[in-house]
Amino acid sequence: MVSMDEDGARRLAQDRDDAELMFQGVARQAELVRAGKTTSRALVEAALRRIARTDPVLGAFRVVLAEQALAEADARDAAEPTGPLHGVPIAVKDELDVAGQVTTFGGAANRTPVAADCEAVRRLRAAGAVVIGKTTMPEFGQWPFTESAAHGHTRNPWDTTRTPGGSSGGSAAAVAAGLVGAALGGDGGGSIRIPAACCGLFGLKPQRGRVSTAPNPHLWYALGTVGPLTRSVGDAALLYDVLAGTTPTDRWSARPAATGWVEALETPPGRLRIGYSAKSAVPGVRPHPEHVGAVLESVRALRELGHDVREVDPRYPDATAPFAAQFCGGVRAEADAVDRPDLLERRTRRTLALARLVPESAVERGIRAGERLAERADRMFTTMDLLLTPVVPERPRPVGALDGAGLLTALARSRPMVAYTALWNVTGHPAASVPAGLAEDGLPLAVQLVGRRDDEVTVLRVAAQLEEVRPWAQRRPRPPSA
């Protein structure tokens, strides 16, 4: 007969083993599977145990596909490894189609399962990944807080009284807590970078048109991009090698990269001109002193790495009008496709009332205005190779930022959170949230690296240098068990 002490010790050992596997990251997990040191089923079972213990508190998953994922893992184990993600469990934000599942967009108004994977998920599976579940988001990704009437609050693994950010907050919480090694998100105004910053992850918003949005021609028109949240730059590069590319149905397509993304990391970036500024693109928004400190600490590190780093005064163009037009058009397009519009959140219905006043012609004018702003932003990069800024001005808010908030209050609370990020969605430039240690409150700090159009490679290379001198992936939160 097994004593309670023995049973507890066994569970503790299992917890440690599971954590060790899941915090490895996707590149290492795939390597372990290829080497026969673990199996896809073992990885999926470890992920499922960690989800069962932790997610009732975090609320990172909208649905966990346990049986399907185990069956998929068994199929991977029965086959020869072919793709770079063979056997690795990955989560997917709930605005992306997964065959047989409802794409809820964070709400309750959609009820019909989709027939096929979206292109990004198809590419993950083709590379050998196992889809383990769909992650939470605010309704239609409107807010930088992952909270909804349908699915409740998602919490930050570093401090469960705080938000993980949004709108890809479920994906960020799942990766930060070691429930999966990586998760797909989407970024229409900062929705990859903001939760990456709040949760201590690497999150790159790629160049517009880098990753397919098919079957949809766009994600919030020119604003939205699809991409992963990971614990390391190398994992992000691996995933972008898998995800990069578009289809004939995509409205935008980026210039093809000259080399593979993982391969690109093997070449140092050389001495670069890097401008830095704590100035916000939104007038009146000032950064928290610790966020300014994170920028200055990164400046010191970059100078020690040999870069020419100088303070600049960016003349940010005003992106309010083109962003607002595309935001309204994007929410309207997604809301028009749901099964039960009567089940949309009250706040979303207010957004739609406003959006219906914005004709399609105004959305198209907003896209053209964004292209003109992109040309203006390009001028910044004639004298520098990268721009370094904060990601967000505020520390992560307490959970419940949207509780009882109408549209105007939600907009007011969201406005500061996108002050450094949304401009780059309007212009399409690549931009990444790079971890920069922990603040006094015990939550992560981050900085943003912005690159020239189509130049994600330089962003990745410099982020990898920063990762090497301050290896943030070794830091792990201790999320509570249910």
Tokens of 431: 């931009």
The predicted pLDDT at position 480 comes to 67
Tokens of 186: 């989407």
The predicted pLDDT at position 481 comes to 62
The predicted pLDDT at position 9 comes to 84
Q: Does the model's pTM come out above 0.95?
A: yes
Distances (CA, A) of 145 to 135, 155, 167, 206, 402: 14, 10, 6, 21, 8
The predicted pLDDT at position 478 comes to 78
> Is 377 contained in some domain?
yes
**Rounded to 5°, angle at Cα 298 from 297 and 300:** 65
The predicted pLDDT at position 2 comes to 57
The predicted pLDDT at position 259 comes to 87
The predicted pLDDT at position 1 comes to 52
The predicted pLDDT at position 363 comes to 97
The predicted pLDDT at position 307 comes to 98
pLDDT in tens, 408-419: 999 999 999 999
The predicted pLDDT at position 482 comes to 57
> Is 443 contained in some domain?
yes
Q: What is the mean pLDDT of the chain?
A: 96
Q: Could you say which residues of the chain have pLDDT below 50?
A: none
The predicted pLDDT at position 196 comes to 98
**Domain boundaries, position 223:** 9-474
Count structural domains, the chain.
Answer: 1
> Is 83 contained in some domain?
yes
Please name which of 411, 450, 459, 405 lies closest in space to residue 429, comparing C-alpha atoms.
450
> Is 3 contained in some domain?
no
The predicted pLDDT at position 394 comes to 97
Please name which of 186, 185, 250, 263 lies closest in space to residue 218, comparing C-alpha atoms.
250
> Is 461 contained in some domain?
yes
CATH of the domain at 309: 3.90.1300.10
Cα–Cα dist 347/169, whole Å: 19
> Is 2 contained in some domain?
no
The predicted pLDDT at position 473 comes to 77
pLDDT in tens, 127-152: 999 999 999 999 999 999 999 999 99
> Is 40 contained in some domain?
yes
Instruction: Say how far residue 300 (Cα) sits from the centre of its chain.
Output: 27
The predicted pLDDT at position 261 comes to 96
Q: Which residues are catalytic?
A: 93, 167, 191
> Is 482 contained in some domain?
no
